[in-house]
Amino acid sequence: MANKEKELDIELIKKRAIYGVVSFTLRTFFIQVFTFGATFILTILLAPEVFGIFFVVSAILNFFVYFSDIGLAAALIQKKQNPSREDFVTTFTIQQAMVGLLILVGFLLSSKIAQLYNLNSDGLILMRVLLFSLLLSSLKTIPSIRLERDLSFGKLIIPQIAENIVFYSTAVFLAFLGFGLASFSWAVLARGVTGLILVYILAPWLPAVGFNRFSAKKLISFGIPFQLNSVLALIKDDLLVVFIGKILPFAQVGYIGWGQRWAFLPLRFFVDNVNRVTFPVYSRLQSRKDELGKAIEKSIFFVIFFVYPSIFGMLALAPKLIDLIPNYEKWEPALPLLYFFAVNAIFSAISTSITNTLFAIGKPRIVLKFMIFWTIATWVLTYPAIVYFGYVGVGVASALVASTSLFTIYIARKYVTVKLGFNVFGPLLISIIMAVIVKGFLLVLPQNILSLFLVIIVGAIIYFAISFSVYGKHVREEAQTIIKSFLFP
């Protein structure tokens, strides 16, 4: 890639955006199928306590992750003008200095943290391996930024696919051999090395150390408010898990992690893919508000059209899956959490896209105000909810706080005209109808795996049949555009 970035016209931006969404979605489909199988095997091979420890240690390390950056990467992606060599070198230098300091502090504190949570030697090793992985991750930043600004999404997906395959293959293989928690340590290390090598092959960049004060000042003016949102997300979510890990048994923390993982799976599958594409794309369109508004409506419709039926279908099927899958009844206590976290996911499918828009148009401080409120509300509500409802209270508080996220739509409409009613309520109603019908079939059909697969197929047919009757012309037009853009990027 040349130092001087290519200027992309509006049609090329649209085509690369669609190509990126499709590429990331196909990537995620492959990864999730692979991950689903691997996670299923791991939940059979490993005890809930092992997942609870991994969940808590990962949350502790996320505290370091969020302080390893001050939003400079996002500032480079959002920047209207083409970043200079000085911008890249300054960002790289600042980030490596911060990561190095955090790794040093982390290693010095790791033994005390392990003692605080009564972690054994494998838990301490996992913590230190995750710390080292911060360095591997930070070294990938600049090549990844260059690919994102050029909207080269096809190349971006290659390291991500390889990382997931290496991580889960290693974890399952070692868990099968009886490594227990150590399986995750080796898997994390293998994943980090794989991703680092591949990203430099795909986007060669010669690292250098240097500092440009003018460049740093401009990037930090956007980066700090952006990163503060991430820090607050850390306090709201991961630090809360660290707190919960001290007041609840690891098995119950494992139930919370299980409920979150499966409830948020449709978000990870669709929303994360769309947002990976829309942030750089929206940033390119920030001066063209009409085109930006259309792009937002299309992306939200795409997300809702697939996320809502996935969530409601999962809620209808989950109890039966637990009954039918061997050695899986141990996760039944987590079902109430799944339902409440699903409420969070329903609201987040919309609000995440809206906050992503506000970031792209250079309004990180607005999102910061929302994040401050959500963080305070989460901490204020969670502990009383745990006292009243037990570990299920974590899900109750999560659902209540998520419901307030719809206010982001009102604020975003002050800057960009976006019409959401038809794009949201239609798929929501159709998904509910589909879930009710699926639940009815489960009650009358024989209780076996074959019936379960049949119900899944019937549910999908019902959803798409009703959807095409309501959105037929709209869906056909979008499908044609997607096919053309994917085949001729």
Q: In this predicted model, what pLDDT tens digit does every residue of 173-207 receive, in sequence order?
A: 888 887 878 888 888 889 888 988 998 888 888 88
What's residue 176's pLDDT? 84
* Res 56 pLDDT > 60: yes
276 and 367, same domain (yes or no): yes
Quick one: which of 169, 95, 76 has its CA closest to 137?
95
What's residue 68's pLDDT? 54
Q: Name the domain boundary from 179, 203, 233.
A: 233
Q: Is residue 99, in this structure, part of any structural domain at all?
A: yes
What's residue 11's pLDDT? 59
Q: Is residue 290, in this structure, part of any structural domain at all?
A: yes
218 and 266, same domain (yes or no): no
Q: Is residue 208, in this structure, part of any structural domain at all?
A: yes
Domain that holds residue 186: 1-233
| Residue % of the chain over a pLDDT of 90 | 8
Q: Which residues of 423-447 are buried (b: 16+ CB within 10 A; e: fewer)?
A: bbebbbebbeebbebbbebbeeeee
Q: Is residue 350, in this structure, part of any structural domain at all?
A: yes
Q: In this predicted model, what pLDDT tens digit does every residue of 421-468 receive, in sequence order?
A: 777 888 889 999 999 998 888 888 777 778 888 888 988 899 988 888
What's residue 7's pLDDT? 47
What's residue 445's pLDDT? 78
Of residues 363 and 429, more confidently modeled:
429
What's residue 20's pLDDT? 62
Of residues 384 and 27, more confidently modeled:
384
Q: In this predicted model, what pLDDT tens digit does every residue of 231-254 receive, in sequence order?
A: 777 677 767 877 787 788 878 888
What's residue 2's pLDDT? 41
What's residue 309's pLDDT? 92
* Res 157 pLDDT > 50: yes
Question: Could you tell me the maximum CA-CA distance found in the chain, to the nearest angstrom?
Answer: 70
Q: Predicted confidence band at 308 (pLDDT cuts at 50, 70, 90)?
A: very high
Q: Predicted confidence band at 6 (pLDDT cuts at 50, 70, 90)?
A: very low
* Res 52 pLDDT > 90: no
* Res 312 pLDDT > 90: yes
Of residues 88 and 308, more confidently modeled:
308
117 and 253, same domain (yes or no): no
107 and 212, same domain (yes or no): yes
185 and 263, same domain (yes or no): no
345 and 384, same domain (yes or no): yes
41 and 83, same domain (yes or no): yes
Q: Name the domain boundary from 233, 258, 279.
A: 233
Q: Is residue 240, in this structure, part of any structural domain at all?
A: no
pTM above the 0.75 mark? no
Average pLDDT of the chain?
79
224 and 311, same domain (yes or no): no
What's residue 481's pLDDT? 56
Q: Is residue 243, in this structure, part of any structural domain at all?
A: no
* Res 62 pLDDT > 70: no
What's residue 12's pLDDT? 60
76-90, 448-462, 467-481: which is most confident: 448-462
Q: Is residue 241, in this structure, part of any structural domain at all?
A: no
42 and 128, same domain (yes or no): yes
401 and 312, same domain (yes or no): yes
Quick one: which of 154, 311, 337, 139 has its CA closest to 244?
337
Quick one: which of 247, 329, 228, 229 has its CA closest to 56?
247
What's residue 65's pLDDT? 59
Q: Predicted confidence band at 311 (pLDDT cuts at 50, 70, 90)?
A: very high
Output the CA angle 48-52-55, nearest 5 degrees: 135
Among 231-235, 320-324, 337-341, 366-370, where is mean pLDDT lowest?
231-235
296 and 408, same domain (yes or no): yes
293 and 397, same domain (yes or no): yes
| Residue % of the chain over a pLDDT of 70 | 81
Q: Name the domain boundary from 233, 260, 275.
A: 233
What's residue 183's pLDDT? 83
Look at the chain and report how many structural domains it folds into: 2
Q: Is residue 242, in this structure, part of any structural domain at all?
A: no
